[in-house]
Amino acid sequence: MSINLLNNPLHITKEVMYQAILDKDTSFEGSFFTAVKTTGIFCRPTCTARKPKIENVEFYRTTKEAILHGYRPCKVCHPLEQMNETPPYIKVLLDELTQNPSLRITDWDLVQRNIEPHTIRRWFLKNHGITFHAYQRLFRINTAFKKIQNGESITITAYDSGYESLSGFTDSFKSIFGVSPRQGKVQTVIDITRIETPLGTMFACAVEQGVCLLEFTDRKMLETEFKTLAKLLNATIIQGPNKHFDILKQQLDEYFAGHRKAFSVSLYSPGTDFQQAVWQELQTIPYGTTRSYKEQAISLKKPESVRAVANANGMNRISILIPCHRVVGSDGTLTGFGGGIWRKQWLLNLEKENTRTL
């Protein structure tokens, strides 16, 4: 199912949109597309190509509308693709690693698959902050970490994980966790993965208790959230599988398809008592409805704490599942969503359109 923003426009002026393309402002991604009259192409707001004069541009809400007006998609910013989406050939590699974490995919292996090693290196550096080979090492050591915590032999785990020597395994383990494998039994790991959605790619984090983070990869405060979460749990965030990820992906797919209005995947969101209360209250807002920050404060029996409630909403690290997008201004205006106002509008439209069918 798709949501047509033309049915519920964001009322962005041409001047604001033009300034957004000059600034390459990621917060406008998905809210409009820029069509250039002189070249006949259309771009996403963050396109790095040379900017046209304002009199030479038109703005459209959807790629379909731009195409119907005779414009072609830009070859620089690829507006028909989802922002930060994982390419299919990389998805295949990640699936293989998930099935066999001890697998070592070398540059030679990539070339045999007609994959340019430099291309995959750049993609991983851009989207994960590490190279593909570093990603493989982290995934491998994470799997070994869990085996050791489950009581398996350190020596057997080391060799089963593809390490040629116990010392090499120990050095890798120490470099990531700061302790030896034997001491690692008391350590904590936060698993992280990427999830593709119609609104762009998201990062999901999970621990044994449940999902502890779900955010869009372009969220400005994401790095701060990672650091805060790691500090709260005294843990290391590392690429790896988690029993909650498959359930999360399935339920998100159902939600975005309009078939799910409540999530049952386990959540774990550490915070102060007040934050916990606010996040719990957010989960009581019915699908397809909204509340104001004032109403949220009243429901918490803290009517004078509107600002504190709004601040706690902003500290929510589990987007969509803890639905802070359902809280709006007292006059109904959309404010305060880390994923961007356009995504907040999209989610509310999705829920409103599907309320009667669920």
| Catalytic sites, residue numbers | 324
Ordered strands of the 33-36 beta sheet: 57-60, 33-36, 41-43, 72-73
Nearest to 9 by CA among 346, 255, 309: 346
Q: What is the 3-state secondary structure (H, E, C) of the chain?
A: CCCCHHHCCCCCCHHHHHHHHHHCCHHHCCCCEEEECCCCEEECCCCCCCCCCHHHEEEECCHHHHHHCCCEECCCCCCCCCCCCCCHHHHHHHHHHHHCCCCCCCHHHHHHCCCCHHHHHHHHHHHHCCCHHHHHHHHHHHHHHHHHHCCCCHHHHHHHCCCCCHHHHHHHHHHHHCCCCCHHHHCCEEEEEEEEECCEEEEEEEECCEEEEEEECCCCCHHHHHHHHHHHHCCEEEECCCHHHHHHHHHHHHHHCCCCCCCCCCECCCCCHHHHHHHHHHCCCCCCCCEEHHHHHHHCCCCCCHHHHHHHHHCCCECCCCCHHHEECCCCCCCCCCCCHHHHHHHHHHHHHHHHHC
**Nearest by Cα to 323 from 274, 267, 271:** 267
Give the closest residue to 31 by CA, choosing from 83, 85, 105, 69.
83
Cα–Cα distance, 282 to 316 (Å, whole number): 10
Amino acid at 118: H
Contacts with 156 (C-beta within 8 Å, 6 or more apart), sequence order: none
